[in-house]
Structures are given as C-alpha cells and as structure tokens.
Amino acid sequence: MEHIIPIDDKSRIRVEKDVYTLEYKKTGKNGDYWRQDGFFCSLESLFTDWIRNAPTRSSKPINDLRSLVDCIEGAEKYAATLFKGK
C-alpha cells in the first residue's frame, strides 16, 4: 500500500515499500500533474534534497547570496516545523 503525504502545496512524498519518492506539482498543457524528482531510502535524505533545491521552487527572485541563504533557511525552518508539529 502506498501513502501520499503533502509537504506543501507544490511538493509531496509518496511512501511505498522500502522507498520514499519526492514529487513536485507541475503544470502542463493538459493541467497539473505530479513529477517524480527522486527516490530516497530515508526521510532525512529526502528532506536534505528538498531543502537543497528550495531555490528552484522559490516564487521570489533570487538575485544575490542573501536571497539564496534566506530561501534555504526558510525551507529548513519549514521542514523543522513539520517534524516538531505546530
């Protein structure tokens, strides 16, 4: 049995036997769809990748080092709230 767990409105985790799949929502000519972005053996490795690639999902322009750091720190803080609860 697989389970789908949302991370945010543009990313989610598909949980299957022995693997976690990171998926991102994309918009194509036929509407929205989920694209697989990677397969991970642990949540730690999945979230490391999700945080590392936060700048590619950013809706804000990243034009300097400060913006890049802020984006990654924001993703780290968001991930921490998911693990700690609200």
Tell me: the pLDDT tens digits for 15-70? 999 999 999 999 999 999 999 999 999 999 999 999 999 999 998 899 999 999 99
Which residue segment(s) compose the domain that 25 sits in? 3-84
Instruction: Give residue 84's pLDDT.
Output: 84
- Determine the pLDDT at residue 23: 97
Q: What is the pLDDT of residue 43?
A: 93
pLDDT of residue 85: 66
Instruction: Classify each residue of 25-60 as buried b or exposed e, where b means 16 or more C-beta atoms within 10 Å of its C-beta.
Output: eeeeeeeeeeeebeebeebeebbeebbebbeeebee
The answer to whether residue 2 scores a pLDDT higher than 90 is no
Question: What's the pTM value of the predicted model, to 2 decimals?
Answer: 0.86
How many domains does one find in the chain?
1
